[in-house]
Amino acid sequence: MRIATVWTVLLAGALLVGQGCVGRLIDEGIEKVLGPTPKLLPLDPKWPEKDPAYLASYRNFELVLPIKSEFPDTPAEFMTYLPTKFAEQMGARDLPTGKQGKTLLVNVTILAYQPVASYNKALGPTEEVVARVELVDKDTTKLVGKAVCIGRTYQSIGLGPKWKAWGLCRAIVDKWLDEYYPKEGRKAGEEKPPPSEGAN
């Protein structure tokens, strides 16, 4: 009887561990497909919610370079990769860049870059980058909008600077520029995930 009880306990433990592993694999797969989580937190001056005419007068969006950072430990690789990913994300949403006409400057300042070690392990391998983003009319220097943008990952597949850059660009482009720019005449392209860390 004792042997049967021991085997039952061992089998139950194996099933629980197996379920945990399967759940983790599912979560990893979901993040691989969906990508990092973008967050947009509007600040003053705020803009009309879900108003596609808000940015309609602009014919060009321009990322201000170099990217600024108020966080001294921001990885150099992240700062290098961010403009590339921004351009890719703009292309995927068919938003105008490098064109003639009224220009909106996208001014990004990194406020925090939190690697996985900064978080409680109970939350999983969470990482995030936080930035203040200002949209400025190039001709008038008028501040058109300001927000805190966050790119966050929850799984080990999303660790590292390239996924963080992707997440931040999704917050800026997908949650802000794309949502508030007219959809007419635009063709949606294919969103490219970043290469794995260490890849060229």
What pLDDT sits at residue 37? 87
Judged by average pLDDT, the poorest of 139-143, 167-171, 194-198 is 194-198
Q: Is the pLDDT of residue 83 over 70?
A: yes
Find residue 105's DSSP bridge partners: 62, 136
pLDDT: which is higher, 192 or 112: 112
Q: Determine phi and psi for 132, rounding to 5 degrees.
A: -95, 130
pLDDT, one tens digit per residue, over 116-152 is 654 445 555 678 999 999 999 999 999 999 999 999 8
Q: Which residues are registered as beta bridge partners of 136?
A: 105, 143
From CA 74, how far away is CA 91, in angstroms rounded? 26
Q: Tell me how far apart the alpha carbons of residues 65 and 185 are, in angstroms, rounded to a whole number.
A: 29
User: Using one digit for the tens of pLDDT, what is the confidence trace for 32-71?
Assistant: 445 688 999 999 888 888 787 899 999 999 999 999 999 9
Mean pLDDT of the chain: 80
Q: Nearest-CA neighbor of 32 among 185, 188, 163, 197?
A: 163
The reported pLDDT for the residue numbered 158 is 53
Sign of the CA dihedral with 121 first, then 132, 67, and 89 last? positive
Q: In the structure, what pLDDT confidence band is assigned to residue 25 with cuts at 50, 70 and 90?
A: very low
Q: Please return the burial class of 37, using the count of CB atoms within 10 Å of its CB with bins 0-12, 13-18 and 19+.
A: middle
Hey, which bits of 10-59 come out as E strands? 37-43
CATH number of the structural domain 36-177: 3.40.50
Residue linked to tokens 């433990």: 13
* pLDDT range class, residue 190, cuts 50, 70, 90: confident
Q: What letters, b where the CB count within 10 A reaches 16 and e where it falls short, cover 163-191?
A: bbbbbbbbbbbbbbbbbbbeeeeeeeeee
Structure confidence at residue 170 (pLDDT): 95
Mean pLDDT, rounded, for 21-25? 42
